[in-house]
Amino acid sequence: MKVSSNTKVNTYGFLGQFPKMVEWVNKRQRKAMQAQGTSIENKLYESTVGIPRTDIEDDQVGLFRPMVQQAAQSAAELPDDLVFGLLKAGKTTLCYDGQNYFDTDHPVFDNVDGTGSSKEQSNLTTGTKDGVPTFYLFDTTNAIKPLIIVNAFKKSLIVAASFASLSLFNSATAELIYKPLEQPVEPAKPDLKIESVNEKFAEKYPNQYNSWRSTANGDGENIIYADEENPRLIVLWGGYAFAKEYNAPRGHFYAVTDVRNILRTGAPKTANDGPQAMACWTCKGPDVPRLIAEWGEKDYFNAKWAK
């Protein structure tokens, strides 16, 4: 089980044993639960080797590439080394209740809130012979697992090289420098399918659909140019996209049409130009996925909506 950490020291709080189910008769039988916790301070781990430059340059049989791969393998195995190393020391390492992780006298109370009489519970059975292997039995079916590792940093591999000149690099030695895994790049024309869902919407939500359709009637079908009626708005909105054009609100039935056509979202101003770049249109344009699919991301973001 993994838990995250974003500070130097983390305190992990948890509740005590969850109460068992009982028959529900009359009122619920609410039970308080004991709050417990443990603090863990993060530690850093490293493994460093020094390699003479000439050894890398003279490497004819590819010895260093497997060595770098082994460094990554060592980093990947670190959580197992830490967890199972601590497990091995469980007989002599204290846990949250002040007892060793494996002990014969863990305190267990009658009530889940930590009250009532205390009984001793053992999670350790010792044999009669020394020097025999130790066996561990865990129940991993519960939500909280017996073993927990704290992830503070993701594994990273740094290869530090000191060369007098970068010209000493060649294709072979350059491969030794660690690079993050390349992120997948979306194709220029992703396979996107745009479809209208009005009919499905009407079928499943007839009341909402009819309410939306009703906004097409009345004065809402006429566009009111608020900045023409009150030119002071142009000054008030100077420098903002609203200064390009402001249409008074009308029914949601026209929402897609208005967003596609109004100037302040980058709609065409002339045959070959638009008032804003495509990036501005991206925030508001429902047609963006189709356009990116047709033009590709690079062409889309380097153009004006008038295209």
- Can you give the residue ranges of every domain in the chain? 2-174, 198-301
Read off the pLDDT of residues 51-76 as tens digits, 9 standing for 90 and up: 777 776 676 556 767 777 777 777 77
Residue 281: what are its φ and ψ, rounded to 5°? -70, -30
Structure letter (DSSP) for residue 40: E
Q: Which residues contact 205 (CB under 8 A, 6 or more apart)?
A: none
Q: Which residues contact 199 (CB under 8 A, 6 or more apart)?
A: none
Most trustworthy range by pLDDT among 41-55, 152-166, 234-248, 275-289: 41-55
Q: Which residue type is seen at 39?
A: S
Which residues share a beta bridge with 36?
A: 14
Q: Look at residue 155 in the predicted model and tell me its pLDDT.
A: 46
SS3 41: strand
Binned at pLDDT 50, 70 and 90, residue 176 comes out as: very low
Q: How far apart are CA 221 and CA 214, in angstroms?
A: 11
Q: How far apart are CA 241 and CA 264, in angstroms?
A: 5
> Can you tell me which residue has the tokens 């195995």?
77
Chain centroid offset of residue 17 CA: 30
Instruction: Give residue 62's region: left, alpha or beta (phi > 0; psi -120 to 50).
Output: left
Q: Which residue type is seen at 249?
A: P
How many Å from the N-terminal Cα to the C-terminal Cα in the chain? 53
Number of neighbours of residue 16 by Cβ within 10 angstroms = 16
Q: Look at residue 230 in the predicted model and tell me its pLDDT.
A: 73
Read off the pLDDT of residues 217-258 as tens digits, 9 standing for 90 and up: 755 556 666 667 777 766 666 655 555 555 555 677 777 776
